[in-house]
Amino acid sequence: MNLWLHGSIRRVQNAVQNTTRRRGLWELGAGGLILAVVALTVMSGTSGQVQDRTGATKPAAAAREDRTPSTGLAEASLRPAKPSVWVSRELAEAKGCLSCHDGIEDINPKMTEAGATCVTCHRGNPLATNDAEAHQGMFANPGDLRVVEQTCGQCHSNKGSISQVVSAGERNHVPRVLRSLMATAAGEIAATRFLWGAQNSLTPLFATRPISAINTISPTAAVGDRRQSVETSPLQASVTTLSLQQLPPANYSDADNLLRNFCLKCHLWTKGEPKPGLHRSSGCSACHVIYDDDGLSKSGDPTIPKNAPSHPAKHQITAKVPTAQCLRCHNDGGGRIGLNFVGLIPAHSSATPLQPDGSPQAPKFGINTLPVRSDVHFEKGMHCIDCHISKELHGDGNLYARKENEVRISCETCHGTATSPPTLADNQGQPLKNLYRSGAEVVLVGKIDGQRHFVTQLDKVARRGSLPLAMRIPAHVQEPGTSPRLRLECSACHSR
C-alpha cells in the first residue's frame, strides 16, 4: 500500500474512532460522516494493495499472481483509450498501420512472403483514423500464451485433436509449447513443494496453468531414452501424469508463496524483469523476439521511445535465437547454467572487476559477476540452439516432470564414445539437421552464423591411444554389455 495513503487513512480512522468515543457518531455532523465514509471507501478499495519493486501500487492478489498472469483474450488485448493521435482518412486507407509506424521493420522475411500483415498477428483496425480505434482489441504481444492459439497458432498449429500433436511434426508448435517444461514449470513446482512439505512426493500435481497431457508415448522407452528411467521410491518423479492443476494461490502455503513471488519468475507465461540482462517478452516472444541487455529499442518505428525499457531491440522475430537471449532466464537457479556457459559466476562485491574507467561494475541479471573460463563450446563460437533442438525447447507435446526427461540429445550424439561412433541423431532416432558426416569427419553447422565446426570423435581418439586418463579408468566409462547407469556422465567432469 502507498505509505502516504496508508498514513492518511490511519489518521482518519483514529480521528473517527476518537471523536466517536468522545461525542458519539451522530455528533460528527455531515462533514464528518462524509469523511468517514470516504475513508472507509478508500480503505475498501485499497486494502490488500502492495508496492512492487518499482514503487508502483497494485492489488496484493495481483502481486501474488504476477508470475502466473490471468488467462483469456481480454487481459492480453489492449483496452481502448482516449484518442491522442489522429490521421486523415486518406492516409489511413493508403498506409494503414504505417500511417503512424512508418519506418518499422518487417517482422520476418518468410512471414512477409507468406502475406502476413500487422493485423495477422496483432489484430486491431488498420483503417482507423485515431490510435484508440486502431488499437481496439489489439494484441501488443501476439506471442502471449493467453492468445497464442489465435495468433501464432494460425500457422504454427495443425488445429487437430491433441492426439495428433506428436505425429504432426515439428511445425505444430503451439500445443507443444503449452505443455513444455518452460511453460508448465512442473518439476520446479513439485520439487519446491515437496521440500517445503506442501506435498508428499515429487510427483507433479501442479503447473503454472491447468493443462492436460497428450500422452502418446508408448510404455517402452526408445534406445537411450531416459524418460522411463526415473527414481522409484521414495523420491518418485512420475512421467505419466495425465493432467496438471494450476498452482494454488500464494496464501495457500509458504511453498506456494515462494514459488509465485520468486521461483517462478522465469517461465513462458511471464515477462522478464525490468533490469539489465533480464528484459524479455513472454510466450513465443520470450525467445524469438530479441532484446538487448538495456531493454532499449533500436527500431525505426518513430512511436517507440528510445530511452525507455522494456522494448525489443527491433520489431523482428527470428528462429536464430542467440545465447544472450537464453540468458534472460537461464542466469539463476539450476547452478546458473547459462552464466557458467558464457564464463560468469556470481560475485560478492561490485568492486571487482572494475569498469575500464575505474568505476564499479553495473549489476547484470540482478547480480554482480566475475569472469571465469567459459564452456569450450562457447569458446568455439557455438550457441545453445546449436545443440538443443526443437522437441526439447518447444516440447514434444507430452508432460514431463524433470528437465532430463525432456532432453533428447547427449554428448554421445556428436562425440560418440571410446568404443562407438556418434549417433548424429537424438535419442528418438531423429537425425539432427545441422550435424552430418563429411568423409571421416563429423561436422556441426552453427544455426546462427553457419560456421562449420569439426567435432572431436572419441572412438578415433581411442584408436590413436590418446584418451585422457579419466577415460581410461574402467569405473568411469561404460563397458560393452553393461548398463549406462554403471558409468559417469560426461558432465560429471566436463560441466562447469
Q: How confident is the model at residue 73 (pLDDT cuts 50, 70, 90)?
A: low
Q: What is the pLDDT of residue 326?
A: 96
Q: What is the pLDDT of residue 169?
A: 52
CB 412 within 8 A of CB 491: no
Strand 435-438: give its sheet, edge to edge.
Answer: 435-438, 441-445, 452-455
Rounded mean pLDDT, 301-322: 96
Cα–Cα distance measured from residue 271 to residue 189, given in angstroms and rounded to the nearest whole number: 19
Rounded mean pLDDT, 419-437: 92
Q: What is the pLDDT of residue 29?
A: 39
Q: At residue 223, does pLDDT exceed 60? A: no
Q: Do you know the residue count of the chain? A: 496
Rounded mean pLDDT, 220-242: 37
SS3 content of the chain, % helix, strand, coil (to 5): 35, 10, 55
CA distances from 386 to 26, 180, 317, 432, 493 (A): 76, 19, 18, 10, 22
Q: How confident is the model at residue 211 (pLDDT cuts 50, 70, 90)?
A: confident
Cα–Cα distance measured from residue 418 to residue 460, given in angstroms and rounded to the nearest whole number: 8
Using one digit for the tens of pLDDT, what is the confidence trace for 252-297?
Answer: 999 999 999 888 888 999 999 999 999 999 999 999 999 999 999 9
CA distances from 435 to 12, 382, 432 (A): 72, 13, 5
CB 339 within 8 A of CB 345: yes
Q: What is the pLDDT of residue 4?
A: 43
Q: At residue 12, does pLDDT exceed 50? A: no
- Nine cell digits for residue 379: 569458446
In 10 A of CB 320, how many CB atoms? Answer: 14
Q: What is the pLDDT of residue 143?
A: 96
Rounded mean pLDDT, 6-29: 42
Using one digit for the tens of pLDDT, what is the confidence trace for 34-45?
Answer: 333 333 333 333
Q: How confident is the model at residue 26 (pLDDT cuts 50, 70, 90)?
A: very low
Q: How confident is the model at residue 342 (pLDDT cuts 50, 70, 90)?
A: very high
Q: At residue 200, does pLDDT exceed 70? A: yes
Q: How confident is the model at residue 351 (pLDDT cuts 50, 70, 90)?
A: low
Higher pLDDT, 113 or 217: 113
Cα–Cα distance measured from residue 154 to residue 173, given in angstroms and rounded to the nearest whole number: 11
Helix/strand/coil for 22: helix
Q: How confident is the model at residue 332 (pLDDT cuts 50, 70, 90)?
A: confident
- Nine cell digits for residue 90: 486518406
Burial class (CB in 10 A: 0-12, 13-18, 19+), 74: exposed
Cα–Cα distance measured from residue 340 to residue 374, given in angstroms and rounded to the nearest whole number: 6
Q: Say what the pTM is.
A: 0.77
The fraction of the chain above a pLDDT of 90, given in percent, is: 48
CB 199 within 8 A of CB 189: no
Using one digit for the tens of pLDDT, what is the confidence trace for 466-491?
Answer: 988 888 887 787 665 555 555 778 88
Q: What is the pLDDT of residue 83?
A: 78
Rounded mean pLDDT, 374-398: 93
Q: At residue 307, does pLDDT exceed 80? A: yes
List beta partners, residue 139. Answer: 77
Q: Give the CA diameter of the chain.
A: 101
Rounded mean pLDDT, 154-172: 60
Among 35-44, 321-330, 350-359, 442-451, the least confident range: 35-44
Among 86-90, 193-197, 364-368, 383-387, the least confident range: 364-368
Does an H or E element contain 443, and which?
strand 441-445
Cα–Cα distance measured from residue 140 to residue 289, given in angstroms and rounded to the nearest whole number: 13
How far is CA 99 from its chain centroid?
33
Among 3-12, 291-300, 417-426, 447-456, the least confident range: 3-12
Q: At residue 238, does pLDDT exceed 60? A: no
- Measured in degrees and rounded to the nearest 5, phi and psi for residue 285 equal -70, -15
Q: What is the mean pLDDT of the chain?
A: 78
Q: What is the pLDDT of residue 435?
A: 97
Q: What is the pLDDT of residue 79?
A: 60
Q: How confident is the model at residue 355 (pLDDT cuts 50, 70, 90)?
A: confident
Rounded mean pLDDT, 449-467: 94
